[in-house]
Structure 1
Amino acid sequence: MKQDKISILKQYLPEQSAPIIAAWIDDYACEFKISKTRNTKLGDYRPPFRGSHHRISVNYNLNPYAFLITTVHEFAHLVAWNAHQNRIKPHGTEWKNTFKKMMLPFFELDIFPLDVKKAVVSYLQNPAASSCADKDLYKTLKRYDAPKEDVLHVEDVLENQHFTLPNGREFKKLNKIRTRFRCLEVKTGRMYLFNPLAEVKLVS
Protein backbone atom coordinates (compact mmCIF):
# COMPACT_ATOMS: atom_id res chain seq x y z
CA MET A 1 0.00 0.00 0.00
CA LYS A 2 2.79 2.44 0.93
CA GLN A 3 4.64 1.47 -2.26
CA ASP A 4 1.52 2.40 -4.24
CA LYS A 5 1.55 5.86 -2.62
CA ILE A 6 5.21 6.30 -3.52
CA SER A 7 4.56 5.33 -7.14
CA ILE A 8 1.72 7.84 -7.43
CA LEU A 9 3.62 10.62 -5.66
CA LYS A 10 6.62 10.17 -7.97
CA GLN A 11 4.40 11.41 -10.81
CA TYR A 12 4.09 14.80 -9.07
CA LEU A 13 7.15 15.15 -6.82
CA PRO A 14 10.92 14.94 -7.27
CA GLU A 15 11.54 11.19 -7.10
CA GLN A 16 13.74 11.22 -3.98
CA SER A 17 11.12 13.09 -1.98
CA ALA A 18 8.23 10.68 -2.63
CA PRO A 19 9.09 8.14 0.13
CA ILE A 20 9.27 10.90 2.75
CA ILE A 21 5.88 12.36 1.81
CA ALA A 22 4.35 8.85 1.66
CA ALA A 23 5.65 8.19 5.19
CA TRP A 24 4.19 11.47 6.43
CA ILE A 25 0.78 10.59 4.98
CA ASP A 26 0.81 7.31 6.92
CA ASP A 27 2.46 8.56 10.11
CA TYR A 28 0.08 11.51 10.50
CA ALA A 29 -3.03 9.58 9.34
CA CYS A 30 -3.63 12.20 6.65
CA GLU A 31 -6.10 12.11 3.77
CA PHE A 32 -3.92 13.43 0.96
CA LYS A 33 -5.66 14.57 -2.22
CA ILE A 34 -4.14 15.64 -5.52
CA SER A 35 -6.62 18.33 -6.50
CA LYS A 36 -7.78 20.06 -9.66
CA THR A 37 -6.40 23.53 -10.35
CA ARG A 38 -7.61 26.26 -8.00
CA ASN A 39 -6.88 29.87 -8.94
CA THR A 40 -7.01 31.12 -5.36
CA LYS A 41 -4.62 28.62 -3.73
CA LEU A 42 -1.95 26.02 -4.46
CA GLY A 43 -2.76 23.78 -1.53
CA ASP A 44 -4.98 23.46 1.51
CA TYR A 45 -4.95 21.97 5.02
CA ARG A 46 -8.02 21.06 7.08
CA PRO A 47 -7.68 19.81 10.69
CA PRO A 48 -9.63 16.81 12.04
CA PHE A 49 -13.32 17.51 12.53
CA ARG A 50 -16.00 15.25 14.02
CA GLY A 51 -13.94 12.09 13.63
CA SER A 52 -12.38 12.92 10.27
CA HIS A 53 -8.63 12.72 9.62
CA HIS A 54 -6.26 15.54 8.78
CA ARG A 55 -6.87 16.55 5.16
CA ILE A 56 -4.37 18.03 2.72
CA SER A 57 -4.90 18.85 -0.94
CA VAL A 58 -2.35 20.10 -3.48
CA ASN A 59 -3.04 21.27 -7.04
CA TYR A 60 -2.12 18.60 -9.57
CA ASN A 61 -0.65 20.97 -12.17
CA LEU A 62 2.25 22.32 -10.11
CA ASN A 63 5.75 21.49 -11.28
CA PRO A 64 7.57 18.96 -9.04
CA TYR A 65 9.46 21.55 -6.98
CA ALA A 66 6.40 23.75 -6.44
CA PHE A 67 4.36 20.64 -5.59
CA LEU A 68 6.93 19.60 -2.97
CA ILE A 69 7.20 23.03 -1.33
CA THR A 70 3.41 23.37 -1.22
CA THR A 71 3.08 19.87 0.27
CA VAL A 72 5.62 20.61 3.01
CA HIS A 73 3.85 23.93 3.67
CA GLU A 74 0.57 22.11 4.30
CA PHE A 75 2.15 19.34 6.40
CA ALA A 76 3.71 22.06 8.55
CA HIS A 77 0.16 23.26 9.27
CA LEU A 78 -0.75 19.71 10.30
CA VAL A 79 2.23 19.31 12.66
CA ALA A 80 1.72 22.77 14.16
CA TRP A 81 -1.97 21.99 14.69
CA ASN A 82 -1.12 18.71 16.45
CA ALA A 83 1.16 20.62 18.81
CA HIS A 84 -0.97 23.72 19.42
CA GLN A 85 -4.47 23.19 17.94
CA ASN A 86 -6.21 26.55 17.44
CA ARG A 87 -4.06 28.44 19.95
CA ILE A 88 -1.72 29.86 17.27
CA LYS A 89 -1.98 32.01 14.16
CA PRO A 90 -2.14 29.98 10.91
CA HIS A 91 1.16 31.41 9.62
CA GLY A 92 2.64 32.53 12.92
CA THR A 93 5.99 31.76 14.53
CA GLU A 94 5.12 28.16 15.41
CA TRP A 95 4.14 27.32 11.85
CA LYS A 96 7.20 29.09 10.42
CA ASN A 97 9.58 27.17 12.69
CA THR A 98 7.83 23.89 11.85
CA PHE A 99 7.98 24.60 8.12
CA LYS A 100 11.71 25.36 8.27
CA LYS A 101 12.39 22.14 10.20
CA MET A 102 10.31 20.00 7.82
CA MET A 103 12.18 21.37 4.78
CA LEU A 104 15.55 20.12 6.10
CA PRO A 105 15.35 16.51 4.81
CA PHE A 106 14.93 17.78 1.24
CA PHE A 107 18.01 19.99 1.51
CA GLU A 108 19.97 17.01 2.86
CA LEU A 109 18.91 14.98 -0.20
CA ASP A 110 20.01 17.88 -2.44
CA ILE A 111 16.75 17.69 -4.37
CA PHE A 112 16.52 21.28 -5.61
CA PRO A 113 18.38 22.84 -8.54
CA LEU A 114 20.75 25.58 -7.41
CA ASP A 115 18.47 28.49 -8.38
CA VAL A 116 15.49 26.96 -6.58
CA LYS A 117 17.64 26.11 -3.55
CA LYS A 118 18.83 29.72 -3.25
CA ALA A 119 15.30 31.08 -3.60
CA VAL A 120 13.93 28.64 -1.00
CA VAL A 121 16.72 29.46 1.48
CA SER A 122 15.90 33.16 1.10
CA TYR A 123 12.17 32.49 1.45
CA LEU A 124 12.69 30.47 4.62
CA GLN A 125 14.18 33.47 6.39
CA ASN A 126 10.58 34.57 6.90
CA PRO A 127 8.15 32.24 5.08
CA ALA A 128 4.86 33.79 4.02
CA ALA A 129 1.34 32.41 3.74
CA SER A 130 2.09 31.24 0.19
CA SER A 131 5.14 30.79 -2.02
CA CYS A 132 3.28 33.07 -4.46
CA ALA A 133 3.78 35.89 -1.96
CA ASP A 134 7.54 35.69 -2.43
CA LYS A 135 8.20 37.15 -5.86
CA ASP A 136 11.71 35.70 -6.24
CA LEU A 137 10.68 32.17 -5.24
CA TYR A 138 7.55 32.28 -7.40
CA LYS A 139 9.47 33.44 -10.46
CA THR A 140 12.21 30.86 -9.91
CA LEU A 141 9.70 28.01 -9.58
CA LYS A 142 7.85 29.16 -12.72
CA ARG A 143 11.00 28.43 -14.76
CA TYR A 144 10.27 24.74 -14.25
CA ASP A 145 6.66 24.88 -15.45
CA ALA A 146 5.72 23.39 -18.80
CA PRO A 147 5.82 26.14 -21.48
CA LYS A 148 2.56 28.04 -22.07
CA GLU A 149 1.91 29.87 -25.32
CA ASP A 150 0.99 33.57 -25.25
CA VAL A 151 0.90 33.71 -21.44
CA LEU A 152 2.53 36.59 -19.58
CA HIS A 153 2.36 38.23 -16.17
CA VAL A 154 0.29 41.28 -15.29
CA GLU A 155 3.49 43.22 -14.50
CA ASP A 156 4.55 42.73 -18.14
CA VAL A 157 1.30 44.16 -19.53
CA LEU A 158 1.57 47.83 -20.52
CA GLU A 159 -0.65 50.43 -18.88
CA ASN A 160 -4.06 50.72 -20.64
CA GLN A 161 -3.57 47.39 -22.47
CA HIS A 162 -6.35 44.83 -22.25
CA PHE A 163 -5.87 41.26 -21.06
CA THR A 164 -8.00 38.23 -20.28
CA LEU A 165 -8.00 35.62 -17.52
CA PRO A 166 -8.30 31.87 -18.23
CA ASN A 167 -12.07 32.17 -17.59
CA GLY A 168 -12.41 34.80 -20.36
CA ARG A 169 -12.95 37.88 -18.19
CA GLU A 170 -11.40 40.96 -19.82
CA PHE A 171 -9.56 43.71 -17.95
CA LYS A 172 -7.78 46.97 -18.69
CA LYS A 173 -4.55 47.49 -16.75
CA LEU A 174 -4.30 50.81 -14.92
CA ASN A 175 -1.82 52.10 -12.33
CA LYS A 176 0.19 50.37 -9.61
CA ILE A 177 -0.86 50.70 -5.96
CA ARG A 178 1.92 49.60 -3.61
CA THR A 179 2.63 46.00 -4.65
CA ARG A 180 -0.42 45.35 -6.87
CA PHE A 181 -1.89 46.65 -10.12
CA ARG A 182 -5.30 48.29 -10.33
CA CYS A 183 -7.29 46.84 -13.24
CA LEU A 184 -10.73 47.67 -14.63
CA GLU A 185 -13.03 44.80 -15.58
CA VAL A 186 -14.37 45.83 -18.99
CA LYS A 187 -17.82 44.22 -18.71
CA THR A 188 -18.75 45.33 -15.18
CA GLY A 189 -16.70 48.50 -14.69
CA ARG A 190 -15.46 47.15 -11.36
CA MET A 191 -11.92 47.69 -10.10
CA TYR A 192 -9.69 44.83 -8.98
CA LEU A 193 -6.17 44.62 -7.59
CA PHE A 194 -3.93 42.06 -9.31
CA ASN A 195 -0.82 40.28 -8.12
CA PRO A 196 2.01 41.33 -10.51
CA LEU A 197 2.70 37.65 -11.25
CA ALA A 198 -0.86 36.66 -12.16
CA GLU A 199 -0.84 34.84 -15.54
CA VAL A 200 -2.92 36.46 -18.29
CA LYS A 201 -3.21 36.72 -22.08
CA LEU A 202 -3.17 39.95 -24.07
CA VAL A 203 -6.23 40.92 -26.09
CA SER A 204 -5.09 41.27 -29.69
Structure 2
Amino acid sequence: MIDKKVEILSKYVPAAAAPLIAKWIDFYKVDFKISRSRNSKFGDYMPPQRGYGHKISVNYNLNVYAFLVTTVHEFAHLVTWNDLKHLAKPHGVEWKNNFKKMMQPFFELNIFPNDIKFTVVNYLENPAASSCSDINLYKALRSYDEKPAGALNVEQVLENQFFTMKNGRTFKKLEKIRKRYRCIEVKSGLIYLFSPIAEVYLTEN
Protein backbone atom coordinates (compact mmCIF):
# COMPACT_ATOMS: atom_id res chain seq x y z
CA MET A 1 0.00 0.00 0.00
CA ILE A 2 2.79 2.41 0.88
CA ASP A 3 4.49 1.61 -2.45
CA LYS A 4 1.37 2.85 -4.25
CA LYS A 5 1.47 6.08 -2.24
CA VAL A 6 5.14 6.55 -3.13
CA GLU A 7 4.33 6.02 -6.80
CA ILE A 8 1.57 8.66 -6.73
CA LEU A 9 3.50 11.15 -4.60
CA SER A 10 6.52 10.90 -6.93
CA LYS A 11 4.44 12.72 -9.54
CA TYR A 12 4.11 15.73 -7.21
CA VAL A 13 7.29 15.86 -5.10
CA PRO A 14 10.94 15.00 -5.86
CA ALA A 15 11.19 11.21 -6.00
CA ALA A 16 13.62 10.99 -3.06
CA ALA A 17 11.10 12.80 -0.83
CA ALA A 18 8.11 10.60 -1.65
CA PRO A 19 8.89 7.63 0.70
CA LEU A 20 9.05 9.85 3.80
CA ILE A 21 5.82 11.68 2.95
CA ALA A 22 4.13 8.32 2.36
CA LYS A 23 5.30 7.12 5.80
CA TRP A 24 3.93 10.27 7.43
CA ILE A 25 0.55 9.74 5.78
CA ASP A 26 0.33 6.20 7.17
CA PHE A 27 1.85 6.96 10.57
CA TYR A 28 -0.43 9.92 11.29
CA LYS A 29 -3.45 8.30 9.57
CA VAL A 30 -4.03 11.35 7.38
CA ASP A 31 -6.71 11.81 4.75
CA PHE A 32 -4.26 13.33 2.26
CA LYS A 33 -5.82 14.89 -0.83
CA ILE A 34 -4.32 16.45 -3.93
CA SER A 35 -6.66 19.37 -4.42
CA ARG A 36 -7.81 21.68 -7.17
CA SER A 37 -5.93 24.95 -7.54
CA ARG A 38 -6.76 27.66 -4.99
CA ASN A 39 -5.52 31.21 -5.49
CA SER A 40 -5.52 32.14 -1.80
CA LYS A 41 -3.51 29.17 -0.52
CA PHE A 42 -1.26 26.32 -1.56
CA GLY A 43 -2.66 23.84 0.97
CA ASP A 44 -4.50 23.44 4.25
CA TYR A 45 -4.83 21.27 7.36
CA MET A 46 -7.96 20.32 9.31
CA PRO A 47 -7.71 18.59 12.72
CA PRO A 48 -9.85 15.57 13.67
CA GLN A 49 -13.53 16.39 14.14
CA ARG A 50 -16.95 14.73 14.00
CA GLY A 51 -15.45 11.27 13.91
CA TYR A 52 -13.04 12.03 11.07
CA GLY A 53 -9.25 12.06 11.35
CA HIS A 54 -6.61 14.53 10.21
CA LYS A 55 -7.08 16.06 6.75
CA ILE A 56 -4.43 17.68 4.56
CA SER A 57 -4.90 19.01 1.05
CA VAL A 58 -2.28 20.44 -1.32
CA ASN A 59 -2.91 22.10 -4.70
CA TYR A 60 -2.28 19.72 -7.59
CA ASN A 61 -0.68 22.32 -9.88
CA LEU A 62 2.31 23.26 -7.71
CA ASN A 63 5.80 22.43 -8.92
CA VAL A 64 7.53 19.64 -6.99
CA TYR A 65 9.41 21.95 -4.61
CA ALA A 66 6.38 24.12 -3.80
CA PHE A 67 4.31 20.97 -3.27
CA LEU A 68 6.89 19.54 -0.87
CA VAL A 69 7.33 22.72 1.19
CA THR A 70 3.55 23.10 1.44
CA THR A 71 3.13 19.46 2.49
CA VAL A 72 5.71 19.80 5.27
CA HIS A 73 4.06 23.07 6.36
CA GLU A 74 0.71 21.28 6.79
CA PHE A 75 2.20 18.23 8.53
CA ALA A 76 3.81 20.62 11.03
CA HIS A 77 0.27 21.79 11.86
CA LEU A 78 -0.77 18.19 12.41
CA VAL A 79 2.12 17.41 14.77
CA THR A 80 1.51 20.64 16.69
CA TRP A 81 -2.18 19.78 17.08
CA ASN A 82 -1.31 16.27 18.30
CA ASP A 83 1.01 17.76 20.92
CA LEU A 84 -1.10 20.64 22.17
CA LYS A 85 -4.58 20.38 20.61
CA HIS A 86 -6.27 23.81 20.71
CA LEU A 87 -3.74 25.33 23.12
CA ALA A 88 -1.17 26.18 20.46
CA LYS A 89 -1.43 29.23 18.22
CA PRO A 90 -1.87 28.24 14.54
CA HIS A 91 1.56 29.60 13.54
CA GLY A 92 3.13 30.05 16.93
CA VAL A 93 6.48 28.95 18.35
CA GLU A 94 5.48 25.28 18.58
CA TRP A 95 4.45 25.13 14.93
CA LYS A 96 7.62 26.93 13.83
CA ASN A 97 9.79 24.46 15.75
CA ASN A 98 7.95 21.48 14.27
CA PHE A 99 8.23 22.93 10.77
CA LYS A 100 12.00 23.33 11.15
CA LYS A 101 12.36 19.81 12.54
CA MET A 102 10.29 18.22 9.77
CA MET A 103 12.16 20.06 7.00
CA GLN A 104 15.54 18.77 8.21
CA PRO A 105 15.39 15.28 6.59
CA PHE A 106 14.83 16.85 3.17
CA PHE A 107 17.89 19.07 3.60
CA GLU A 108 19.90 15.98 4.53
CA LEU A 109 18.66 14.24 1.37
CA ASN A 110 19.73 17.26 -0.73
CA ILE A 111 16.23 17.49 -2.19
CA PHE A 112 16.30 21.21 -2.97
CA PRO A 113 18.35 23.20 -5.51
CA ASN A 114 20.72 25.62 -3.78
CA ASP A 115 18.59 28.71 -4.44
CA ILE A 116 15.49 27.18 -2.89
CA LYS A 117 17.45 25.66 0.00
CA PHE A 118 18.96 29.06 0.83
CA THR A 119 15.56 30.77 0.74
CA VAL A 120 13.84 28.04 2.76
CA VAL A 121 16.56 28.21 5.43
CA ASN A 122 16.04 31.97 5.71
CA TYR A 123 12.27 31.51 5.78
CA LEU A 124 12.60 28.98 8.60
CA GLU A 125 14.23 31.61 10.80
CA ASN A 126 10.73 32.99 11.27
CA PRO A 127 8.17 31.17 9.10
CA ALA A 128 5.10 33.11 8.02
CA ALA A 129 1.56 31.80 8.13
CA SER A 130 1.80 30.92 4.47
CA SER A 131 4.60 30.46 1.97
CA CYS A 132 2.42 32.65 -0.30
CA SER A 133 2.90 35.57 2.10
CA ASP A 134 6.71 35.42 2.12
CA ILE A 135 7.72 37.15 -1.11
CA ASN A 136 11.25 35.72 -1.29
CA LEU A 137 10.13 32.13 -0.71
CA TYR A 138 7.20 32.52 -3.08
CA LYS A 139 9.49 33.84 -5.81
CA ALA A 140 12.02 31.06 -5.31
CA LEU A 141 9.36 28.36 -5.47
CA ARG A 142 7.50 29.88 -8.41
CA SER A 143 10.72 30.27 -10.40
CA TYR A 144 10.48 26.52 -11.07
CA ASP A 145 6.98 26.81 -12.54
CA GLU A 146 6.39 26.41 -16.25
CA LYS A 147 5.19 29.91 -17.14
CA PRO A 148 2.87 30.57 -20.10
CA ALA A 149 4.50 32.42 -22.99
CA GLY A 150 4.53 36.18 -22.39
CA ALA A 151 3.70 35.96 -18.68
CA LEU A 152 5.55 38.21 -16.24
CA ASN A 153 5.12 39.56 -12.72
CA VAL A 154 3.58 42.95 -11.92
CA GLU A 155 6.92 44.14 -10.49
CA GLN A 156 8.45 43.63 -13.96
CA VAL A 157 5.88 45.93 -15.57
CA LEU A 158 7.08 49.53 -15.93
CA GLU A 159 5.14 52.36 -14.30
CA ASN A 160 2.34 53.63 -16.61
CA GLN A 161 2.47 50.48 -18.75
CA PHE A 162 -0.72 48.53 -19.37
CA PHE A 163 -1.20 44.87 -18.53
CA THR A 164 -3.95 42.27 -18.74
CA MET A 165 -4.90 39.57 -16.25
CA LYS A 166 -5.84 36.02 -17.22
CA ASN A 167 -9.52 36.97 -16.94
CA GLY A 168 -9.09 39.70 -19.58
CA ARG A 169 -9.28 42.73 -17.28
CA THR A 170 -6.83 45.47 -18.27
CA PHE A 171 -4.95 47.78 -15.88
CA LYS A 172 -2.43 50.59 -15.91
CA LYS A 173 0.37 50.24 -13.39
CA LEU A 174 0.89 53.20 -11.04
CA GLU A 175 3.24 53.75 -8.09
CA LYS A 176 4.33 51.32 -5.40
CA ILE A 177 2.80 51.64 -1.93
CA ARG A 178 4.75 49.73 0.69
CA LYS A 179 4.78 46.15 -0.62
CA ARG A 180 2.10 46.45 -3.33
CA TYR A 181 1.48 48.40 -6.53
CA ARG A 182 -1.44 50.73 -7.18
CA CYS A 183 -3.06 49.90 -10.52
CA ILE A 184 -6.09 51.46 -12.19
CA GLU A 185 -8.54 49.32 -14.11
CA VAL A 186 -9.01 50.82 -17.57
CA LYS A 187 -12.71 49.97 -17.90
CA SER A 188 -13.97 51.01 -14.45
CA GLY A 189 -11.39 53.55 -13.35
CA LEU A 190 -11.17 51.81 -9.98
CA ILE A 191 -7.88 51.46 -8.11
CA TYR A 192 -6.61 48.03 -7.03
CA LEU A 193 -3.52 46.96 -5.12
CA PHE A 194 -1.47 44.22 -6.76
CA SER A 195 1.11 41.91 -5.26
CA PRO A 196 4.48 42.35 -7.01
CA ILE A 197 4.42 38.67 -7.94
CA ALA A 198 0.95 38.61 -9.52
CA GLU A 199 1.20 37.01 -12.97
CA VAL A 200 0.05 39.26 -15.85
CA TYR A 201 0.59 39.98 -19.56
CA LEU A 202 1.69 43.23 -21.21
CA THR A 203 -0.81 44.83 -23.55
CA GLU A 204 -1.20 47.90 -25.76
CA ASN A 205 -2.96 51.07 -24.55
User: Which amino acid letter does the alignment assign opposite residue 169 of structure 1?
Assistant: R
Deviations 1:135-192 (A, max 9, x none): 2222222232124211111111122322222223333222211111122233444332
Q: Which moved more, 1:104-113 or 1:154-163?
A: 154-163
Residue in structure 2 matched with residue 75 of structure 1 by the alignment: 75
Paired with 2:163 and 2:47, the residues of 1 have a C-alpha distance of 38
User: Which amino acid letter does the alignment assign opposite residue 156 of structure 1?
Assistant: Q
Paired with 1:138 and 1:123, the residues of 2 have a C-alpha distance of 10
Structure 2: stretches of 5+ with no match in the other structure: none
Paired with 1:185 and 1:86, the residues of 2 have a C-alpha distance of 43
1:150 equivalent to 2:150? Answer yes
Deviations 1:71-108 (A, max 9, x none): 10111111111112222221111111110011011011
TM-score (norm 1): 0.93
User: Which amino acid letter does the alignment assign opposite residue 27 of structure 1?
Assistant: F
Residue in structure 2 matched with residue 166 of structure 1 by the alignment: 166
Total equivalences in the alignment: 204
Q: Which moved more, 1:91-100 or 1:171-180?
A: 171-180
Residue in structure 2 matched with residue 140 of structure 1 by the alignment: 140
Residue in structure 2 matched with residue 97 of structure 1 by the alignment: 97
Residue in structure 1 matched with residue 3 of structure 2 by the alignment: 3
User: Which amino acid letter does the alignment assign opposite residue 115 of structure 1?
Assistant: D
Q: Over aligned residue pairs, what C-alpha RMSD do you find?
A: 1.5
Are residues 185 and 104 of structure 1, via their aligned partners in 2, closer, same or farther at CA, if it must alter by over 3 Å?
same
Structure 1: stretches of 5+ with no match in the other structure: none
Paired with 1:164 and 1:88, the residues of 2 have a C-alpha distance of 42
Contact 2:160 2:174 in 1 (8 A): yes
Residue in structure 1 matched with residue 185 of structure 2 by the alignment: 185
Contact 2:157 2:173 in 1 (8 A): yes
Contact 2:41 2:132 in 1 (8 A): no
Q: Which moved more, 1:98-107 or 1:180-189?
A: 180-189
Paired with 2:82 and 2:165, the residues of 1 have a C-alpha distance of 39
Paired with 2:12 and 2:106, the residues of 1 have a C-alpha distance of 15
1:199 equivalent to 2:199? Answer yes
